[in-house]
Chain A
Amino acid sequence: MMERVPIVEMKGIVKVYPDGTKALKGVDLVVYQGEILGLLGENGAGKTTLMKILFGMLQPTAGKIFVKGKEVRFKSPSDAIAHGIGMVHQHFTLVEVFDALHNIILGMEGHGLLSKIDVERARRKIERLMEELNFRVPLDVPVEELPVGVQQRVEILKMLYRDVEVLILDEPTAVLTPIEVRELFRVLRQLKARGKTIIFISHKLNEVMEITDRVTVIRKGKVVGTVRTSEATPQLLARMMVGRDVVLRIEKPPKEPGKPILRVEKLRVIGDRGEVAVKDLSFEVRAGEIFGIAGVEGNGQTELIEAISGLRKVEGGKVYLNEKDITGKGPKELYDMGMAHIPEDRTHMGLILDMTVTENSILGLHWRPKFQRFKGVINWARAREHAQHLIEQFDISAPGTEAPVKSLSGGNQQKLIVAREVSKEPVFIIAAQPTRGVDVASTEYIRNYLVKLRNEDKAVLLVSADLDEVVQLSDRMGVMYEGEFMGVVKPEEVTTEEIGMMMGGIRYEEIRK
């Protein structure tokens, strides 16, 4: 092994934001050549800030950075790349309408600015690189048409095309399906075998355990410690990360479900590309029950939720809420009838990032008489009270009710959505990817809250790409594949293997034969 040669060293890194927030309080980090270093911490712990400093996107307030023993100062990401440090962000920085090839060569096209781009030469170079690394991406399709996992590989290629030696990956699995995660890990091992160094930012314990060689844990802007992965346990890492023991299991008392609240009958929905995304699906969600929907993403889950919540046209079939036909009704009517919706994409559908906590906290509630001074004028004093109440009740850490929501960490943003939706006092809640990209403590909180709602006789429809989440929380679950359920089962009655087979498109009856 080529260990013990520090390729990157960060010493005493301090970062104070202009608004006075102390994101990093003197962080030391050592990265050795050829290793996969896990950078573990909750959302808002400072992992991303630290890595943005290493990548030249942010300037440290104090501290030094050494690359191969030499002190460096990066004014921009291109400086960092020139020193062999590349980063793949959680939100990709790809030009969506360009194909992979042009995304990869952008800024390094070769020749003069006004000469014709030699596409074939670039293609040969990338092909050679892909062969060497043993993974491929299609080069001629606009990247927006590629699955997320492939887009991520384009990002990785983009960095490797620039000959980086250290690759920083910020929460690379947050947007991936379990199958894509496995593929990513294979790629990472390939890179490591070729002597590349990888910094893997994550808050997912089992992933860190699986892929890394060493783990540095960060909490509240400070390094808690660094351990060899082979000597660590998930419990140890969780304790270091959160600062207390985390209950990774959810307490769920047995409960007899009541009458059906949501009933879906032969629902047929058309997807964006004109395909039948949901194929005559029927199921019901009962009071006091969490009905989970598992499955690889892109098998009609999104279209199903959108159809139920009135955001997408229903092509055929019926949806009933409390035995009333709600097919084709708009979101506002549905809210009035007791539906709440935690959308899967919090930054696009759940919140308006530039608006304040108060403003976001009454979205969808703002027309209720409670928040109106008189018809058409919002009572902001009430709204602030409401926001303050949600912050306290859900332990949301926010600088204040008037802070823009984008200043909150992902976990707290998500808690705010959950808090707002629950404050609508619904009888039926759709929770789509409720803990995606959310730190451990918030995840635990949100999951427990969903169980609490169930215990209060609400009906919960849980849609999640996180299989553990669906299995742990659901009373019953449907496994979705190409717009249909391969089976509706009780989680405790099936094995993970059987669920995996259903996710792969084999019907439950066939498995049980």
Chain B
Amino acid sequence: MNPGDIITILIMSLMAMVPIVLTSVGAAWSERAGVVSIGYEGVLLMSAFFGAIFAELARNALVGLIGGIIVGLLLGMLHGVLTVYLKGDHVIPGIGINLLAMGVVPFGILAYWGTAGQHQLPHDAIMWHWRTPYGEISPMIIVTVVIAVVTWWVLFKTPLGLRVRACGENPEAADALGINVEKYRFWSTVYGHALAGLGGAYMSVDWLGLVHKTMSGGRGFIALANMVFSGWNPLISLIGGWLFGFFEALATWLAPKHIIPGQFILMLPYIMTLIIVAGIIGKARPPKWDGKPYKRE
């Protein structure tokens, strides 16, 4: 491995971290407010698909990213209505969203583009990248870092964040002090899903430039694991997400060299992220009312 390779891997890792970090940060915010969702996998996949359609129609990647956010927003609203206002279970809607995505996307690719399983986006629908000798760099990397830092700051330093956390820890206390728990929870859920939507669209219209029927590849779940091991902290999620990206990049770099069997290489990012993040953070405590509907007596 020469220095050039190392820089290449680092750049690839930054590109790969974006969807994980965005989803982890969004999920952390949502769960801090007390709403659990396991539907991020489906959100990533669907917003990758619809984001690509938006981008192609407008011939503009930015529109694709916004389209992804809108898909996340709508799915977040669906989840929010079911869990926050109708006091439903927090896990079931996520299963629904994931299964929906597994059906909609492969069918949609075939129906819309007429190709089975995969579609390559035209150049004018893909985000501008800074091309370096060691690989391409997307402006979304900076956006992601900014979102993680700002989300952390708002969550821990502002009245808004204090109230959101109070809703996840003890909604009764928040309610008694005049905080509209349902409103805070609902919009937190929407925010969480919207970030995942941005992450999904990034995958298709920015990072890879293609839509594939399984392109989310478990990132929605890894993001949740990353969120837990990061102690529901957006800043640490950023590091955890980058670690995943790093090992994913390393795996991609290692694969053609045939040093280790390919299956093990593919496992690498998942296993290493879990081991390292879990090892550093250790036991984290979830928000006390995480995943529990709040209903006034």
Contact = CB atoms under 8 A, between A and B. Distances in A.
A and B pair up: yes
Interface of A: 52, 57-58, 76-78, 81, 93-98, 102-103, 105-117, 158
Nearest to B172: A93
B191 to A, nearest CB: 13
B162 A114 contact: no
Interface residues of chain B: helix, strand, loop or mixed (majority):
helix
Given A93-B170, A97-B169, A114-B154, A109 B175 contact: no
B177 interface: yes
A120 B148 CA distance: 26
B178 A77 contact: yes
Nearest to A58: B297
A76 B178 contact: yes
B79 interface: no
Contacts of B154: 114
B158 A113 contact: yes
Interface in B176-210: 176-179
A109 to B, nearest CB: 4
Contacts of B158: 113-117
12 contacts: A78-B177, A94-B173, A95-B169, A95-B174, A96-B288, A97-B169, A98-B166, A102-B162, A103-B173, A106-B163, A106-B174, A109-B162
A103 B163 CA distance: 10
Contacts of B166: 95, 98, 106-107
Nearest to B170: A95
Contacts of A98: 162, 165-166, 169
Contacts of A105: 162
Interface residues of B, number: 23
Q: Which 8 A-B pairs have the closest CB atoms?
A: A78-B178, A107-B177, A109-B159, A93-B173, A113-B160, A77-B176, A95-B169, A95-B170
Nearest to B288: A96
A76 B158 CA distance: 25
Contact of A107 (B157, B172, B179, B297): B179
A111 B170 contact: no
Interface residues of chain A: helix, strand, loop or mixed (majority):
loop
Contacts of B288: 96-97
Nearest to B176: A77
A76 B162 contact: no
A78 B179 CA distance: 8
Contact of A76 (B157, B163, B169, B175): B175
B164 to A, nearest CB: 10
Nearest to B167: A95
Contacts of A97: 169, 285, 288
A78 B175 CA distance: 8
Contacts of A95: 165-166, 169-170, 173-174
Nearest to A78: B178
A495 B178 CA distance: 50
B172 A111 contact: no
B160 A106 contact: no
A105 B179 CA distance: 12
A77 B170 contact: no
Given A97-B288, A107-B163, 16 more contacts: A57-B176, A77-B177, A77-B178, A78-B176, A78-B177, A81-B177, A95-B165, A96-B288, A98-B162, A98-B165, A106-B162, A107-B174, A109-B162, A114-B158, A114-B159, A117-B157
Nearest to B297: A57
A102 B176 CA distance: 15
A106 B165 CA distance: 10
A105 B178 CA distance: 12
Contacts of B165: 95, 98
Interface string B138-168: 0000000000000000100111101101100
A211 to B, nearest CB: 24
Contacts of B160: 113-114
Nearest to A94: B173
A76 B177 CA distance: 9
A11 B160 CA distance: 39
A98 B156 CA distance: 11
- Among B162, B165, B169, the one with the most A-chain Cβ atoms within 10 Å of its Cβ is B162
A120 to B, nearest CB: 13
B178 A107 contact: yes
A340 to B, nearest CB: 32
